[in-house]
Amino acid sequence: MIIETLIKIAIVIGGLMTAAAYFVLLERRMAAWVQDRVGPNRVGAPLSQLNKGWKDLRLFGLGQPAADGVKFILKEEYTPAHVDKRLFVLAPISILVAALATFAVIPFGSVLPAGLFWDEPIEMVVHPGAGVGMLVVFALSSIAVYGVILGGWASNNKYSFLGTLRSSAQLIAYELPLGLGILGVILATGSLDLNEIIAEQAKSGWWFAFTQPLGFFVFFVAAFAEAARLPFDLPECEQELIGGYHTEYSGIKLLLFLVAEFLHMIAASFLIVMLFFGGWHFWFITGHDSNPGWIQAILRVAVLMTKIFLVILFFMLVRWSWPRFRFDQLMALAWKVMLPLGLINFVAVAVIEQVKVAVIDPVKAISGSSPGMELICAIAAWVVCIVAWVVISIAGPLVADNRPRLDMDAFDVDPQLEEAR
Note the pLDDT tens digit of each residue in 361-395: 565 544 444 667 778 888 999 999 999 988 888 87
Q: What is the pTM of this model?
A: 0.87
Rounded distance between C-alpha atoms, residue 269 and residue 253, angstroms: 25
Q: What's the pLDDT score for residue 419?
A: 56
Rounded distance between C-alpha atoms, residue 338 and residue 305, angstroms: 29
Identify whether 183 is part of a domain.
yes
Residues 229 and 242 in one domain: yes
Residues 160 and 68 in one domain: no
Look at the chain and report how many structural domains it folds into. 2
Residues 48 and 93 in one domain: no
Of the residues 351, 378, 393, the one at which a domain ends: 351
8 Å CB contact between 28 and 40: yes
Residues 147 and 260 in one domain: yes
Identify whether 291 is part of a domain.
yes
**Cα diameter, the chain:** 83
Rounded distance between C-alpha atoms, residue 199 and residue 320, angstroms: 35
Of the residues 301, 333, 351, the one at which a domain ends: 351
**Of the ranges 138-142, 207-211, 355-359, which is most confident?**
207-211
Residues 56 and 201 in one domain: no
Identify whether 263 is part of a domain.
yes
Residues 60 and 157 in one domain: no
Identify whether 343 is part of a domain.
yes
Residues 54 and 83 in one domain: no
Residues 153 and 53 in one domain: no
Residues 67 and 96 in one domain: no
Q: Which residues contact 186 (CB under 8 A, 6 or more apart)?
A: 134, 192
8 Å CB contact between 308 and 21: no
Identify whether 33 is part of a domain.
no
Q: How many CB atoms lie within 10 A of CB 230?
A: 18
Range of the domain at 65: 40-73
Q: Which residues contact 180 (CB under 8 A, 6 or more apart)?
A: 215, 218, 339, 342, 343, 345, 346
Confidence of residue 413 (pLDDT cuts 50, 70, 90): low
Of the residues 321, 351, 381, the one at which a domain ends: 351
Classify 372 in phi/psi space as left (phi over 0), alpha (psi -120 to 50) or beta: alpha
Residues 226 and 314 in one domain: yes
Residues 111 and 237 in one domain: yes
**Of the ranges 157-171, 222-236, 381-395, which is most confident?**
381-395
Residues 280 and 154 in one domain: yes
Identify whether 191 is part of a domain.
yes
Q: What's the pLDDT score for residue 186?
A: 92
Identify whether 101 is part of a domain.
yes
Identify whether 61 is part of a domain.
yes
